[in-house]
Amino acid sequence: MVLQRLLRGQARPTVRGAAEAALWGLKSIKGSCHNFCTAAFKDVTYKELKNLLNSKKIMLIDVRERWEILVYGKIPGSINIPLDEVGEALQMNAEDFKQRYKEVQPSKSDSVVFSCLAGVRSKKALYTALSLGFHSAQHYAGGWKEWETCEFSEKKQGN
């Protein structure tokens, strides 16, 4: 619980928080949220994401809940790891990750992009990834809402 509040920016790291994280098998987040949340990063635009997906040079992780994916759809090529599971998933051993998510686990040097509905949860996932050493992580701030709008617009224009 402390770890979740820390990731939401509602708590500062404490010995108790680090101990709780250790009990869950998670690595402690060093320093305050401010230290990694203010790290410079660049949001990925719709066009950039589309090009990255076509090049197959990224792993796109949709952090919405599973029911949202089923009801509203997802960006083609994305995998679903709900926000509550991101920290644990990025620290799993490769075999467990493959079994649970049916994909090869990204390494800390891989390009990973997080998305959600409108950019709030993906930014939280980004902060988690950065704190765990995934320095090439980014997020798609437009999320599913922008993707769906842009895709509809492109299809309507015949692109």
- The domain ranges of the chain are 1-36, 39-157
CA dist 17 to 31, 32, 88, 123, 139, Å? 12, 12, 15, 21, 26
Sheet with 59-62, side-by-side order of all strands: 78-80, 59-62, 112-115, 137-139
Taking CA atoms, 18 is separated from 2, 10, 67, 139, in Å, by 9, 15, 31, 26
Q: Please give the DSSP secondary-structure letter assigned to residue 29.
A: P
Q: What is the pLDDT of residue 88?
A: 97
Q: What is the pLDDT of residue 40?
A: 53
pLDDT digits (tens, 9 = 90+) for 118-129: 999 999 999 999
pTM above threshold 0.85: no
Annotated active-site residue 37? The verdict is no
At residue 9, the pLDDT reads 52
Q: What is the pLDDT of residue 17?
A: 44
* DSSP H helical ranges for 41-117: 46-55, 66-72, 86-91, 94-101
Residue type, 136: S
Question: pLDDT below 50 — which residues of the chain?
Answer: 1-3, 5-7, 10-39
Q: Three-state SS for 139? A: strand
- Other CB atoms within a 10 A radius of the CB of residue 8 amount to 12
Q: Which of 47, 38, 12 is nearest to 142 (CA)?
A: 47
Q: Measure CA 80 to chain center.
A: 9
Question: Catalytic one among 33, 37, 116, 150?
Answer: 116
Kindly state which CATH superfamily the domain 39-157 is placed in.
Rhodanese-like domain (3.40.250.10)
